[in-house]
Amino acid sequence: MQKLTKEQQDYQNFVKQKRPKPPLLKNILMAFIVGGLICVVGQVIMNFYISRGMSPKEAGAPTSATMVFLGAFLTGLGVYDKIGKRAGAGSIVPITGFANSIVSPAMEFKREGYVFGVAAKMFVVAGPVIVYGMCSAVVIGLIYYILKL
């Protein structure tokens, strides 16, 4: 970041009150309702796998995979972005949103080819998530290993 001049700072202060804020309460409410509902759908799926004889722990992986499928499918149908416009974080934070972040660029960059388009662009958001998820898990694993010695 460059340092702002006095004139620039004055302008920043001047526009601060001009700029409309996002409707925070409404957004929070929508995120809560939609995010909650997506998790309820997840619970329904999880309970289904449990009813088929899996332990709650075993049911986690197929539940995630099913939710990922749903998120990807709704993105393909062009529905997920419409949910996202209203729900914000409510549909971004669940794992369905992770699927959406993979399918939306992959689909859009198809015209740039299947290697540098679809396959490369699908990780625009998912890549960083996996990188930071994996690296933090390794660091935590290492700390756990050392503490255990």
Partner 1 sequence: MDYIMAFVIGGLICVIGQILMDTTKLTPAHVLVLFVTLGAVLSGLGLYQPLVEIGKAGATIPLTGFGHTLVTGVIEEVNKRGLLGIFTGGLTSAAAGITAAVVFGYLMAVLFNPKSK
Partner 2 sequence: MAGKKMGLQTIRFQNPPSIIATSSIVGPKEGQGPLKDYFDLILNDNMYKEKSWEKAERKILKEAVEMAIKNSNLPYSKIEYFIAGDLLNQIISAGFAARELGFPFFGIYGACSTAAEGLGLGAIIIDGGFADNLVVATSSHYCTAERQYRFPLELGNQSPPTAQWTVTGAGAAVISSRPQNPRITYVTTGKVIDMGETNPNDMGTAMAPAAVDTIVRHFNDTNRTPDDYDLIVTGDLASIGKDIAEELIKQKGFDVSNKYTDCGLMIFDPQQDVHAGGSGCACAAVVTFGYLYKEMMKGKYNRILLVATGALLSTTSTQQGETIPCIAHAVAIENL
**Interface residues with partner 2 (CB under 8 A)?**
1-2, 4-5, 7-9, 11-12, 14-15, 18-23, 27, 75, 78, 80-85, 87-88, 91-92, 97, 100-101, 103-105, 107-109, 111, 125
Q: Does 83 bind partner 1 (CB under 8 A)?
A: no
Q: Which residues contact 68 (CB under 8 A, 6 or more apart)?
A: 95, 96, 98, 99
Burial (CB < 10 A; 0-12, 13-18, 19+), residue 91, is buried
Residue 113 binds which of partner 2, partner 1, none (CB < 5-8 A, kind-dependent): none
> How far is it, in rounded angstroms, from Cα 57 to Cα 55?
5
| Contact assessment for residue 59 and residue 46, using Cβ atoms and an 8 Å cutoff | yes
Count residues near partner 1 (CB under 8 A): 78
CB of 133 to partner 2, least distance (A): 20
Identify which of residues 49 and 97 has a Cβ nearer to partner 2 in the complex.
97
